[in-house]
């Protein structure tokens, strides 16, 4: 059976919910400590869940990004295995440069939120839409183009941004923008639809191969309708779970995301 390693760093706090969501689509899952590296390469895929790794000292995700375990994750990603970073996990992937992955360096930042309510941690329900185009990546192949996903956010540093003015166009051309904040009618506008002033309403971006995704919203907290507020339900059965289902399909079909 397909096996997923859910990585536990000191300060991670979403590992159990993530494990449960993985198992709900028929995959096996183990919570693997950051210092238990033996056998890590035997897993079929990896998830870096949310929380506050190393207390988010310096800035969110930067210390975990320097952990030797991430060298193994990087190599496994190069072999085509899927890697999903959720919230703090997304911050770690951005800080390693694995995502966007266009060059061997950090190309983006997940900066502090900017909105009309708060200048830091912000927790709310929102919507994201699956961007049309590259539905061969490892995380949206079970979703329809422009499918709307009700999903919560809970972060203080989740604003995708960059000083490279040409980078966004490269991401668009490569179909690396996988999820964008929107409203129930698929409109992508400013706050509150864009909850943190993220560039281009970006909620999740992948590497060029499509097998590594950094996303700030929490799909593991929206994988059952009982988790979703009535006012946010779309009439479909918890579309966020399809992200984990897509990982399973990617692995079972042996696709490398190209």
Q: Can you tell me the distance from the alpha carbon of 235 to that of 55, in angstroms, rounded to the nearest whole number?
A: 38
**pLDDT > 60? residue 257:** no
Domains and CATH numbers, the chain: 3-252 (3.40.50.880)
pLDDT, position 148: 96
Tokens of 198: 């993220």
User: Tens digit of pLDDT for each residue in 121-178?
Assistant: 999 999 999 997 655 689 999 999 999 999 999 999 999 999 998 999 999 999 999 9
CB 148 within 8 A of CB 182: yes
Using only the alpha carbons of the chain, give its radius of gyration: 16
pLDDT, position 185: 92
pLDDT, position 258: 41
- State the pLDDT confidence band at 69, using cuts at 50, 70 and 90: very high
Please give the sequence-ordered ranges of beta strands (E in DSSP) within 209-251, or none if there are none. Answer: 212-215
C-alpha closest to that of 141 among 253, 19, 23, 8: 253
pLDDT, position 117: 82
Average pLDDT over residues 54-71: 95
**pLDDT > 80? residue 179:** yes
> Which sequence positions are flagged as catalytic?
87, 218, 220
pLDDT, position 116: 82
CB 83 within 8 A of CB 90: no
Q: How far is CA 43 from CA 5, 39, 251, in A?
A: 6, 8, 11
Q: pTM for the complete prediction?
A: 0.95
pLDDT, position 95: 97
C-alpha closest to that of 212 among 103, 88, 76, 106: 76
User: Tens digit of pLDDT for each residue in 95-111?
Assistant: 999 999 999 899 999 99
DSSP state of 163: S
Q: How far is CA 180 from CA 69, 84, 149, 222, in A?
A: 29, 16, 10, 16
Average pLDDT over residues 20-44: 95
Tokens of 41: 């390469």
Q: Can you tell me the distance from the alpha carbon of 77 to that of 63, in angstroms, rounded to the nearest whole number?
A: 20
Average pLDDT over residues 205-214: 97
To the nearest whole number, what is the mean pLDDT of the chain? 94
C-alpha closest to that of 199 among 161, 156, 158, 157: 161
């Amino acid at each position: 059976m397909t096996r997923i390693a859910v990585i536990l760093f000191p300060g991670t706090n979403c590992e159990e919910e993530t494990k449960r969501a993985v198992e709900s689509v028929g995959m096996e899952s183990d919570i693997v400590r950051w210092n238990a590296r033996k056998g890590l390469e035997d897993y079929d895929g990896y998830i870096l869940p949310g929380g506050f790794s190393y207390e988010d000292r310096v800035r969110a995700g930067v210390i975990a990004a320097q952990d030797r375990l991430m060298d193994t994750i990087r190599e496994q990603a190069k072999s085509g295995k899927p890697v999903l970073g959720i919230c703090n996990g997304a911050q770690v992937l951005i800080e390693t440069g694995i995502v966007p992955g266009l060059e061997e360096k950090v190309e983006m930042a997940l900066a502090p939120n900017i909105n009309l309510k708060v200048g830091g941690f912000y927790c709310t329900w929102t919507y994201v839409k699956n961007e049309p185009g590259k539905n061969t990546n490892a995380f949206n192949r079970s979703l329809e183009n422009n499918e709307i996903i009700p999903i919560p956010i809970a972060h203080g540093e989740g604003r995708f941004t960059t000083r490279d003015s040409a980078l966004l166009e490269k991401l668009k051309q490569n179909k690396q923008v996988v999820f964008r904040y929107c409203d129930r009618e698929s409109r992508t506008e400013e706050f509150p639809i864009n909850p943190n002033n993220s560039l281009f309403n970006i909620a999740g971006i992948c590497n060029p191969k499509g097998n590594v995704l950094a996303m700030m919203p929490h799909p593991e907290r929206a994988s059952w309708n009982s988790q979703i507020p009535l006012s946010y339900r779309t009439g479909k059965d918890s579309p966020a779970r399809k992200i984990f289902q897509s990982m399973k399909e990617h692995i079972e079909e042996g696709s490398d995301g190209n």
